[in-house]
Structure 1
Amino acid sequence: MSDRFELFLTCPKGLEGLLIEEAVGLGLEEAREHTSAVRGMADMETAYRLCLWSRLANRVLLVLKRFPMKDAEDLYHGVLDIEWADHMVPDGTLAVEFSGHGSGIDNTHFGALKVKDAIVDKLRTPTGERPSIDKINPDLRIHLRLDRGEAILSLDLSGHSLHQRGYRLQQGAAPLKENLAAAILIRAGWPRIAAEGGALSDPMCGVGTFLVEGAMIAADMAPNLNRELWGFTTWLGHVPALWKKLHTEATERAAIGMTKPPLWIRGYEADPRLIQPARNNIERAGLSHWIKVYQGEVGTFEPRPDQNQKGLVICNPPYGERLGDEASLLYLYQNLGERLRQACMGWEAAVFTGAPDLGKRMGIRSHKQYSFWNGALPCKLLLIKVNPDQFVTGERRTPEQRQAEREQAAYNQAPAEPQERQYNKNGNPIKPAPAPVVEQARLSEGGQMFANRLQKNLKLLGKWAKREGVDCYRVYDADMPEYSMAIDLYHDWVHVQEYAAPKSIDPEKASARMFDALAAIPQALNIDKSRVVVKRRERQSGTKQYERQSAQGKFTEVSEGGVKLLVNLTDYLDTGLFLDHRPMRLRIQKEAAGKRFLNLYCYTATASVHAAKGGARSTTSVDLSKTYLDWARRNFSLNGFSDKNRLEQGDVMAWLEASRDEFDLIFIDPPTFSNSKRMEGIFDVQRDHVQLLDLAMARLAPGGVLYFSNNFRKFALEDNLSERYAVEEISDKTIDPDFARNAKIHRAWKITAR
């Protein structure tokens, strides 16, 4: 066999440039870059060194042969031509991987079978001995790549992928592969910072991948030093003495590195469930005395060991896939930016994100950006120098203002001057006042305009709400067309419903405006960021608006007209309380004394609770959903009502047909459309409202009143109803000031017998 070989080093997409630099540094010659791979020439010692020391490669493939291939027979004979007895014993185990297509082979499984058949036929002995297949830990792992009519047959020296270092047996929900983490650290300049004695901090460390990879770089530890099984371990061409020499050298280098004073490497993680797995991974890597992990939120992490220490803050924030993530992620990035400005002056930062628009919300400019791929997801690495010149304030600043900001930042970073210790009357030392905190990042121009509108609305509506004793109301409803959302206050919570942007609107602009609005909401409404819930409202059909969105099960108590009600801001698109029906509920409360009240399509029965508060003789509430009837039961219990309040589960139309009871006061607020599996047929409010009202009026006692309402914008009440009943539209009397901008939020009628 030749002393010089062609090698292919595979890697994740986007790492090719870094890998070719690393490979050349480790001895690869005539190196060339390919998609997700690097190719070059090397001797056996360099091949082993690449296996041991490459932090970026997935596999090291040693090319055995290249040959032209027109069809499956060419493939078979090209593989058969190899002297396989030089590579494995006849009764050894084998695994074959095949990539590419063409030359009559469109199925990779078929291609792999042809390669396997050729190797087995070549090695089969007269006594019947032959290789067998072992896909997990074979003696020999073969790879054939078909590229434009040429077959490239290789031996995989790595075995399992090189990113599997062996220390990470426990991982979180969205793990970052070890070689990608190493690439990010290298691109962020960590080898230089570590050589200068700098610190490393990850405020969202998960199970510690960045921390371990960073410590191994700093300690000069070969990433695959502790791997026991290799693709070449039982290969007949393996040179054990040469491998032992390289492994011994790497072991000695790691020992020297580990005797150095450890760098300050710290991780912080908000999820307590990940703390112990992170510590276990660090222990397996042998780096417990270098790396410490603590539980803590982003806004509280303390990255600096002392005032003079500098270093790198690195993190991989979540990208956001669930309902409401826009708000939580925006505030996460804002908190990260605020913490960098307050506690990391003079440091460098690297933020790896699949949502680069959110990176702009940190309030610090990145001086460089690099494209990466995390699996199939395109990502950006934002590199940041944390100093006042990079801070984004949302407005132009004069040189004098910039200088003042630098002085403020320097003051925040400077050690406190010695002060004379003071004691209280009990002899205990008095704690000094905390140092000033850097103010919040200023809003963008659009964000400030939006905040001004919110503050104006809050000032006007707040006086009305306080006077009326209302603590949940709409404060904004698409007042500015470019900020298309509804914002409701629920005591000390904010519920945001983002309306889907028209297709004519650039999605990037719509997303930017949404982030501007989310940045402005807490400041304008003086609400903590953690109490902002965001949902996207699109055109709903059927019962989609009632489908469960989350499963937090968290209820918040609000009050209205002396009634206490439970809302759930997270789990469903709607909250359990239709704010626009407040005037109708209060009207029912005033008119309910001594009456038998019926609430059809009752939802969470808030109108029934108001009727009970108003002194109703009895209430009956009908709905198809057991979930909402259970919610209704809790609303009654919260107010101390239990007797005389019936909750009936069933299809309203069928229930009315079967009922023979009479009621003095009836409220109907049906859905626009319903096709629940629990009901027969489909309900359409425009088509079926006449039948619904006729059935309900048959249950209305003499002198009784029926209130009918719905929010279908195109709804038209059937004209002939007025021939049978006295019908009065009262829509304008059921709209409070917080819905004055949206007078078509619903329509309502008062119906009585003639």
Structure 2
Amino acid sequence: MSDRFELYLTCPKGLEGLLAEEARQLGLSEVREHTSAIRGDADMETAYRLCLWSRLANRVLLVLKRFSMKNADDLYDGVHALDWADHLAADGTLAVEFSGHGSGIDNTHFGALKVKDAIVDKLRNREGLRPSVEKVDPDVRVHLRLDRGEAILSLDLSGHSLHQRGYRLQQGAAPLKENLAAAVLIRAGWPRIAAEGGALADPMCGVGTFLVEAAMIAADIAPNLKRERWGFSAWLGHVPALWRKLHDEAQARAQAGLAKPPLWIRGYEADPRLIQPGRNNVERAGLGDWVKIYQGEVASFEPRPDQNQKGLVISNPPYGERLGDEASLLYLYQNLGERLRQACMGWDAAVFTGAPELGKRMGIRSHKQYAFWNGALPCKLLLFKVQPDQFVTGDRRQAQSEAGENEPRRQAPVASEPARLSEGAQMFANRLQKNFKQLGKWARREKVDCYRVYDADMPEYALAVDLYHDWVHVQEYAAPRSIDPDKAQARLLDALSAIPQALGVDPQRVVLKRRERQSGTRQYERQATEGRFQEVSEGGVKLLVNLTDYLDTGLFLDHRPMRLRIQREAAGKRFLNLFCYTATASVHAAKGGARSTTSVDLSKTYLDWARRNLSLNGFSERNRLEQGDVMAWLENAQDSYDLIFIDPPTFSNSKRMEGVFDVQRDHVQLLDLAMARLAPGGVLYFSNNFRKFQLDEHLATRYAVEEISAQTLDPDFARNNRIHRAWQLRLR
């Protein structure tokens, strides 16, 4: 074999430049960058050194051969022509990975099979011995990459990906790969800071990946020093003496590094379940003297070991995967920015995020930004100098959120002062405070602790804001397509910034949902699984709401007057609640002294919730819950009722019902079936929130019909008098 080789080093997308610089320092020559890879020339010693010392590469591939191919036969012939006896024994094991397509190869599995067949056929001996496939831990792992008609056949020297250092056996829900963490640390300037004796702190450390990678850099520990098996371990071209020499040198450097006084490297994590896994990872890496992990919230994060110590604060905050994560994430980023301003003056800070717009809300101007990819997710690394001239006032934040970061810097107020709201956020806060002041008097007088404070009063802030005692439930209406998504997002973040200050609530008690035009039963689909129910009161009854798990909360606030009317009129009556949802109207009827209540809904989930609402108020007897399709149930019903309430969905196509329910099309049949169950002298209340709904005029020829919409709106919905329409029907 030749003394010089062509090497391919693969890496996460976005790390190519950093990897090229690192590889040059480790001895690779003629370096060229490709997407998610670099290539260059090296001898065997450099190839081994790259395997051992590269903090950024995924794999080190030694190119065995390049050849042109037009079809599958060319592929087979090109691989078969190589003298495989130099690389693998006839009874050895191999794995093949194939990438690319073209030249008649459109299926990577087929391509890998052709490569395997060519190798096996070449090595099959007279006794019938032949290599076998071993996907997990083969003697050699072969790569073939097809690139515009050229086949590049390589041997993987790494074995398992080099990002798998071996210390992280336990990880959190959204782990950052070790080589990506190392790249972030390098971009953030940690090697320089560490060389100067600086400190490092991670206020959201998870299982400690940043901490371990930082300590290995500071202590001059080769990232893969503890790896026992490599892709070259059973390769016939392996030079064990050369490898032992390099490994011994790396071992000596690690021992010397660990003998130095350890740097101050600390992590803090709010989730107690991650503390021990993080500490276990640190111990497996042999860095227990260098790295400490403590439990703590971002809001109480205090990194300074002493007043004179400076260094780097590094963090990879969550990006948000679920509906409504924007609220909690915004406050998390704001808390992080506040702690940096208050406790980290003079430090450097680095925030690696998949939501860079939230980074603009930290109240500190980033002086550099780098693009990265975390898997398929585009991310940004934001670098900060925690200095007063980098702090951002409210006006500055508005400029950042809408126009970028090219404006002149402005001096901020003293760091301990609350951050000012942007101009837009302050305008929204003023309207919120005005509504809150006016409605608060009414709510206290009427003993209402759940009500709507704001409902898209200002068109540019298309939100509904509801108070549930000391919690805030925010619904964002989907912006029209004509609105720039970035501007809509900036306005949402402005509003979320304003809500805790304007309403005097804990930011952790603000829940955001995004409400779009619903089809079918989407509005009833589960959004999360926290299972956190809260008790609220209304009209002398207690009700359970869930602000996190569903788009709706279990309590339609706009129907409050209707529920109270039902309570006043229910004494001694048989009450029927159709499409009952969580049966809040049935609870009110029972409170009002109803002789009996019957509640019908198709959803077992909501009937269970209804059962809990009734039980919470001591109403278990004479209160029946029926699961079923309302239309089919009415067709089979025999009993009569004195008081009926119907609040149907606009549209439903549940798998558990026959056909599709459309309120505009089907309301006449629905009302006829329900009125057939109404006792003489009884009353039926019908309501729905379909904006374009028109009650069929012929109903008035059969029943006494009166629209009562205006009577069913409280002051908190006076600004949105189209929230629903309601009618009263009686038998003639």
State the TM-score, normalizing by the size of structure 2.
Answer: 0.95
Task: Measure how far apart 1:56 and its partner are.
Answer: 0.8
Q: Would you say 1:27 and 2:27 are equivalent positions? A: yes
Q: How far does residue 396 in structure 1 lie from its aligned partner after superposition? A: 6.4
Counterpart position of 2:402: none
How much does 1:720 deviate?
Answer: 2.0
Q: Give 2:235's aligned residue.
A: 235
Structure 1's unaligned 5+ residue stretches are 410-437
Indicate the SS of the match to 1:742.
Answer: coil
From 563, 570, 573, the equivalent of 2:551 is: 573
Distance (Å, rounded) in 1 between the aligned partners of 2:494 and 2:487 = 10
The CA deviation at 1:4 is: 2.0
1:309 aligns with 2:287: no
Mapping 1:333-344, distance limit 5 Å: 333-344=333-344
**CA distance in 1: counterparts of 2:448 and 2:132, whole angstroms:** 77
1:397-546 equivalence runs, <5 A: 405=413, 408=414, 438-546=416-524
Cα deviation code 1:237-269 (max 9, x no counterpart): 222211111111110110000011111111111
Deviations 1:367-406 (A, max 9, x none): 0000111111111111111111111111369xxx97784x
Superposed CA deviations along residues 510-555 of structure 1, whole A, max 9, x for unmatched, are: 1111111111111111110111111111111222212222222221
The answer to whether the aligner puts 1:180 opposite 2:180 as a matched pair is yes
SS of corresponding position for 1:221? coil
For 1:640-677, what per-residue CA distance to the aligned partner results, in whole angstroms no more than 9, with x for missing partners?
22333233333333333333333332222222222333
1:673 equivalent to 2:651? Answer yes
In the alignment, which residue of structure 1 is the partner of 2:92? 92
CA distance in 2, matches of 1:326, 1:309: 34
What is residue 140 of structure 1 aligned with on the other side? 140
C-alpha distance in structure 1 between counterparts of 2:599 and 2:102, whole Å: 68
Relative distance call for 1:613 and 1:25 in structure 2 (3 A) is same
Instruction: Tell me how far apart the structure 2 counterparts of residues 118 and 665 of structure 1 sit (CA, whole Å).
Output: 81
Q: 1:277-288 alignment to 2 at 5 Å? A: 277-288=277-288
CA distance in 1, matches of 2:39, 2:412: 53
SS in structure 1 of the partner of residue 440 of structure 2 = helix
Task: Name which of structure 1's ranges 615-624 and 36-45 shifts more when overlaid on structure 2.
Answer: 615-624
- Displacement of 1:9: 1.5
2:566 pairs with one of 588, 613, 618: 588
SS of equivalent residue, structure 1 residue 384? strand
Q: Equivalent pairs: percent with the same residue?
A: 84
After superposition, what is the alpha-carbon deviation per residue over 1:61-91, rounded to whole angstroms, capped at 9, x for unaligned? 2222233333333333333333322223222
Q: What are the superposed Cα offsets for residues 315-344 of structure 1, whole Å, 9 maximum, x if unpaired?
A: 111111112211111111111111111111
Query: Cα–Cα, structure 1 residues 596 and 309, in superposed 2: closer, same or farther, change >3 Å?
Result: same
- C-alpha distance in 2 between matches for 1:505 and 1:606: 38
* Structure 1 contact 388–402 (Cα < 8 Å) conserved: no
Residue deviations 1:558-583, cap 9 Å, x none? 11122221111112111111111111
> Following the alignment from structure 1 to structure 2, what is the Cα–Cα distance between the partners of residues 581 and 544?
21
Q: Distance in 2 between matches of 1:629 and 1:178?
A: 48
Taking a change above 3 Å as real, the CA distance of residues 26 and 742 of structure 1, as seen in their structure-2 partners, is: same
**2-side partners of 1:263 and 1:107: how far apart?**
51
Change (3 A) 1:729 1:24: same
- In structure 2, give the amino acid aligned to 1:634: R
Q: Given residue 602 of structure 2, which amino acid in structure 1 is its aligned partner?
A: L
Structure 1 residues 18-97: aligned runs within 5 Å? 18-97=18-97
Letter in 2 for 1:673: F
Contact 2:140 2:235 in 1 (8 A): yes
In structure 2, relative to structure 1, the CA distance for the partners of 1:488 and 1:88 (3 Å cut) is: same
1:96 to 1:602, Cα distance in 2 relative to 1, 3 A: closer
CA contact (8 A) 1:704 1:752 kept: yes
Which position in structure 2 is the counterpart of 1:107?
107
The aligned amino acid for 1:475 is: V
Alignment partners' CA distance in 2, 1:477 and 1:698:
38
Matched, 1:696 2:674: yes
- What is the CA distance between 1:507 and its match in structure 2? 1.2
- The answer on whether the counterparts of 1:597 and 1:620 sit within 8 Å (CA) in structure 2 is yes
- 2:83 aligned partner, one-letter code: E
SS at match of 2:537: strand
Determine if contact 2:455/2:462 at 8 Å carries over to the other structure. yes
Superposed CA deviations along residues 68-122 of structure 1, whole A, max 9, x for unmatched, are 3333333333333333222232222222222223333333333333333333333
Is there any run of 5+ residues in structure 2 with no aligned partner, and where? 398-408
**Alpha-carbon contact 2:265-2:290 (below 8 Å) kept:** yes
Taking the aligned partners of 1:33 and 1:217, their CA distance within structure 2 comes to 24
Determine helix, strand or coil for the equivalent of 2:501: helix
* Alignment CA distance shift 1:707-1:289 (3 Å): same
2:527 counterpart letter in structure 1: Q
| 1:155 counterpart SS class | strand
1:481-527 CA distance string (max 9 Å, x none): 11111111111111111111111111111111111111111111111
Q: What is residue 552 of structure 1 aligned with on the other side?
A: 530
- The corresponding residue for 2:642 is 664
Bigger mean CA deviation after superposition, 242-251 or 56-65? 56-65
Query: Counterpart of 1:215?
Result: 215
| Distance in 2 of aligned mates of 1:114 and 1:356 | 45
TM-score of the aligned structures, taking structure 1 as reference length? 0.92
Residue identity opposite 2:370 in structure 1: Y
Matched with 1:2 is 2
Aligned residue in 2 for 1:292: 292
Which residue is equivalent to 2:377?
Answer: 377
Within 5 Å, give how 1:116-131 maps onto structure 2. 116-131=116-131
Q: 1:151 to 1:726 in 2, by over 3 A?
A: closer
Task: Write out per-residue CA displacement over residues 18-68 of structure 1, whole angstroms, 9 at most, x where no aligned residue.
Answer: 111111111112222222222222222111111111111111122222333
Q: Cα–Cα, structure 1 residues 128 and 618, in superposed 2: closer, same or farther, change >3 Å?
A: closer
Q: Determine helix, strand or coil for the equivalent of 2:2.
A: coil
Correspondences of 1:343-362 after superposition (within 5 Å): 343-362=343-362
Distance 1:317 1:63, change over 3 A: same
Contact 1:708 1:750 in 2 (8 A): yes
Look up the match of 2:623. Answer: 645
Query: Alignment partner for residue 733 of structure 1, among 694, 711, 718?
Result: 711
Amino acid in the other structure paired with 2:424: G
Report SS of the residue matched to 2:513. Answer: strand
Query: CA 1:669–1:245 in 2, change beyond 3 Å: closer, same or farther?
Result: same
Moved more, 66-75 or 292-301: 66-75
Deviation at residue 439 of structure 1 after TM alignment: 2.6
Q: 1:586 to 1:108 in 2, by over 3 A?
A: closer
- Contact 1:561-1:586 at 8 Å conserved across structures: yes
Q: Distance in 2 between matches of 1:211 and 1:122?
A: 48
Counterparts in 2 of 1:130 and 1:477: CA distance versus 1, 3 Å: same
**What CA deviation, in whole Å up to 9, does each residue of 1:146-176 have, x standing for no partner?**
2233332222221221111111111122111
In structure 2, C-alpha distance between the alignment counterparts of 1:56 and 1:30, rounded to whole Å: 19
Amino acid at match of 1:632: A
SS at match of 2:341: helix
| Preserved contact between residue 263 and residue 290 of structure 2 (Cα < 8 Å) | yes
Distance 1:59 1:383 in 2: 29
Partner of 2:699: 721
* Native 8 Å contact 1:87 1:235 kept in 2: yes
> Are the counterparts in 2 of residues 202 and 314 from structure 1 also a CA contact under 8 Å?
yes
**Amino acid aligned to 1:751:** L
Distance 1:661 1:262, change over 3 A: same
